[in-house]
Amino acid sequence: MKRYLFGTLCLVALGCDSSAPTGNKTQINEGMTRQAVDRDNTGVNVRDRDSTAKTPFDQNENQADIGITAKIRAQVVETEMSINAHNIKIMTANGKVTLRGPVESLTEKKQIEAIAVAVAGEGNVDSQLEVSDE
């Protein structure tokens, strides 16, 4: 009986947490304004379902594209950046690199973009990196 009561109280306490973010903030990044997405990634998931959005499934399986992705990933991981920066999505198809995911600062974003351009070449990088608003 005590376990049942304790379990019920825990569930009630967890369900009453009102500190969850609402996602209604507007973020300004490099002069651009966009609506922040909820932390449950619903907005990101909708974006990823769009047939034009690159996802890791779009990574080509040829050796050249795999090599580009591996070089960029290795250089990013060797840097002293946030966990988010180390875990960005890097997708390469036909020599064109797409970078996606959150990073902690504009400095991290620019550093990752510079690494990708150095490996893939100028004009071959589509950066969709997002600077976290916290």
Q: Which residue has the higher pLDDT, 85 or 46?
A: 85
Q: Where are the domains of the chain?
A: 20-131
Question: Quick one: CA dihedral 107, 33, 41, 66, positive or negative?
Answer: negative
Judged against a pLDDT cut of 50, whether residue 62 lies above it is answered with yes
Check whether 109 has a pLDDT greater than 70. yes
Residues 103-127 as b or e (16 or more Cβ within 10 Å = b)? beeeebbebbbebbbebbeeeebeb
The model's pTM is 0.60
More confident residue, 68 or 54: 68
The radius of gyration computed from the CA coordinates of the chain, to the nearest angstrom, equals 19
Residue 125 pLDDT > 50: yes
Distance CA 122, CA 1 (A): 67
pLDDT for 27 beyond 90? no
Q: Is residue 98 packed enough to be buried (19+ CB in 10 Å), middle (13-18) or exposed (0-12)?
A: buried
Q: What number is the average pLDDT over the span 32-53?
A: 54
Evaluate if residue 57 carries a pLDDT over 60.
Answer: no
34 or 71, higher pLDDT: 71
